Amino acid sequence: MPNDSISSIQPHPSLVVMDLFGTLVEYNEAIRGALAAAFQAHGERVDTDLAGMAVGYPGVQGIHRILRWLHPHEQPHAESARSIHDLAVKECCRMVAYSSAIQPANGVVRLCELLSRAGVKVAATTTLDAAVVKVLLRRLGWDEHPPFSTLVLAEEVERPTPGPDLILECMRRMEVLDVERVAKVACNVIGLADAKRLGCGWNVLVDCGTLTTDQIAALAPTAILDQVSDLAQVWTFPAATDTALEDEIARILHRSSQDGVS
Domain ranges of the chain: 4-27+102-233, 30-98
Q: How confident is the model at residue 5 (pLDDT cuts 50, 70, 90)?
A: very low
Q: What is the pLDDT of residue 216?
A: 87
Judge if pTM exceeds 0.75. Answer: yes
Q: What is the pLDDT of residue 4?
A: 44
Q: How confident is the model at residue 236 (pLDDT cuts 50, 70, 90)?
A: confident
More confident residue, 64 or 30: 64
Fold of the domain built from segment(s) 4-27+102-233: Rossmann fold (3.40.50)
Burial 236-260 (b: 16+ CB within 10 A, else e): eeeeeeeeeeeeeeeeeeeeeeeee
Q: Is residue 28 exposed (0-12), middle (13-18) or buried (19+ Cβ within 10 Å)?
A: middle
Residue 200 and residue 184: Cα distance in Å, rounded? 7
3-state helix, strand and coil shares in percent for the chain, rounded to the nearest 5: 50, 15, 35
CB 13 within 8 A of CB 235: yes
What are the pLDDT digits (tens) for 108-157? Answer: 999 999 999 999 999 999 999 999 999 999 999 999 999 999 999 999 99
More confident residue, 28 or 230: 230
Strands 25-26 and 103-104: antiparallel
Q: Would you say residue 9 has pLDDT above 50?
A: no
